[in-house]
Amino acid sequence: MMKIVLIEDQTLLSSTLTQALEQDPEIKIIALSDKANDVIRLCKEHKPDLVIMDVFTKDGNGIEYTAKLKQIYPDVKVMIMTGVEDERLVQSAEKAGADLFVWKNLSFNELTEFIRNAEKPYRIFPNIPSVVPESPKFSDVDIRILRLLVKVKSSLEIAEELYLGYGTVRLYISRMYAATGFKSRAQLVAYALRCGLIEPVLV
């Protein structure tokens, strides 16, 4: 049986994944967390075969914590999973020592197949072409805020780091939403990454 630790900060997705994957009698979710920095503790306590790690979690970058995990538990397989389709994240995950990399738009059957392949002695990463859209017109402050959003910083943390008012940061983010048509920070970060306005957090 494949024992899995799941790190996913979206509660609905975490619950849905757990229910769907455990329909397979050979798969067992043995621990859940919405924070990447829990992964080392959970691996010590539960000794999983595989960690499914989201890239952007509540407390930071899952790829960064993958590198830390691999230094301590190199035999634990790690599958990076994200909805941000940027090939630089693939490169960063590979450098961090991850064993597999999947996009969140895959089906449950495809995910199950990837999990089964995690036991094999080779790594699985997508090979996608770079498609860079036209860059929006963002100010220097916008870019500085985006660089902190990719690190999963809150509006309050961004305000403190950039010496701006909390309301000012929220206003800048709202203006970027209006400029791009997006409604979430994840979409905004994905767009900025694809435009080359910011770099992913590399390990």
pLDDT tens-digit readout, 62-112: 899 999 999 999 999 999 998 777 777 888 898 999 999 998 888 888 888
Q: How many domains does the chain have?
A: 2
Same domain for 171 and 81, yes or no, is no
Confidence bin at 136 (pLDDT 50/70/90):
low
What are the pLDDT digits (tens) for 24-58? 899 999 999 999 999 999 999 999 999 999 988 87
* Domain, as residue range, for 29: 2-117
Note whether residue 127 is domain-resident: no
Same domain for 155 and 96? Answer: no
Taking the complete model, does pTM exceed 0.75, yes or no? Answer: no
In this structure, the answer to whether residues 163 and 108 fall within a common structural domain is: no
d(C-alpha 104, C-alpha 110), whole Å: 11
Same domain, 62 and 147: no
What is the arithmetic mean of pLDDT over 101-124? Answer: 85
Percent of the chain with pLDDT over 90: 37
The answer to whether position 185 is within a domain reads yes
pLDDT at 203: 45
User: In this structure, is residue 135 part of a structural domain?
Assistant: no
Residue 172 has pLDDT above 60, yes or no: yes
**Rounded percentage of the chain residues whose pLDDT exceeds 70:** 94
> Could you tell me if 36 and 93 lie in one domain?
yes
- 153 occurs within a structural domain: yes
Cα 137-142-143 angle, rounded to 5 deg: 90
| Structure confidence at residue 184 as a pLDDT band (50, 70, 90) | confident
What is residue 202's predicted lDDT score, i.e. its pLDDT? 54
Q: Is residue 128 part of a domain?
A: no
Contacts 24+ apart (CB under 8 A), 175-184: 175/142, 176/136, 176/138, 176/142, 176/145, 176/146, 179/136, 179/137, 179/138, 180/136
Count of CB atoms situated within 10 Å of the CB of 10 = 16
* Residue 182 tokens, joined: 């997006």
- Of 105-114, 131-140, 180-189, the poorest mean pLDDT is in 131-140
Give the whole-angstrom CA distance, residue 110 versus residue 149.
30
pLDDT at res. 130: 47
153-164 confidence digits (pLDDT tens): 899 999 999 998
